[in-house]
Amino acid sequence: MTRYPNFSIKNSSSSPPNTAEDSPVSLPENKPWLIVGLGNPGKKFNGTRHNVGFMMVDAIAEAEGISINTANFKALIGKGFIGNDPVMLAKPQTFMNASGESVGALVSYYKIPLKQVLVIFDDLDLPFAKLRLLPKGGHGGHNGMRSIIDRLKGSRDFPRLRIGIGRPQGRMDTINYVLRPFNKQEREELEFTFQQGIEAVRILALEGFDKSATYVNSARAIEQLG
């Protein structure tokens, strides 16, 4: 099992938002898909390996015309639709190790079934830029996922989209590696990964988990985008 670094970064305030901008996001009566990208807030973490979940959610938002412009539940949130299906995009702002504070609050407030909660995060054990979509599972040593599982009362029964970041070369420290920005070549490779992820989320929302998993986890995804 991969052990991710345990960052000693202070979490944001746990007090509930009390401004007009931070009022709960109104959503249609049918439950939306909650699509969560994991990362650390702040400019110094932009474009780093540990923030690739944020980057994927930003790519989905741009592709679907959804503005992530509301701050609530310790997250930046955007609401919109994929086809006729409501979705809510979220980027927890608690720092990685406390991601569950945000995700747990969103799931509880909007009463979203766990089968409609997709968490997107970086994975050291997958080759760089590869995707894997799973229906459930453990945290795999990822502290953000550990926090989410804890806040969901130990439930692991929610889908997750893992984005491979590969392993550090030589003796590079894991913390330094995951907090390193992607270089130009890596960013170019990730553009393909993000396009694949956007299509996977569309299939997930419109046609269900099984078809999306077949698309992501098989060579067909490469052929269809190529």
Contact 17, 71 (CB under 8 A): yes
Q: Which helix (H) or strand (E) holds 149?
A: helix 143-151
Q: Which residues pair with 221 in a beta bridge?
A: none
Determine the number of helices (DSSP H) and then strands (DSSP E) in the chain.
7, 7
Active-site residue, selected from the candidate residues 50, 91, 139, 160: 50
Contact 6, 147 (CB under 8 A): no
Q: Which of 53, 37, 42, 55 has its CA nearest to residue 11?
A: 42
Q: Which residues pair with 33 in a beta bridge?
A: 87
142 catalytically annotated: no
Q: What's the CA gap between 127 and 123, in Å, rounded?
A: 9
Sheet of 75-82, strand order: 70-72, 75-82, 85-92, 33-37, 117-123, 160-164, 131-134
Q: Which residue type sits at 56?
A: M
Q: What's the CA gap between 198 and 31, in Å, rounded?
A: 20
| Positive or negative torsion for Cα 205, 206, 209, 215 | negative
Catalytic residues, by residue number, are 50
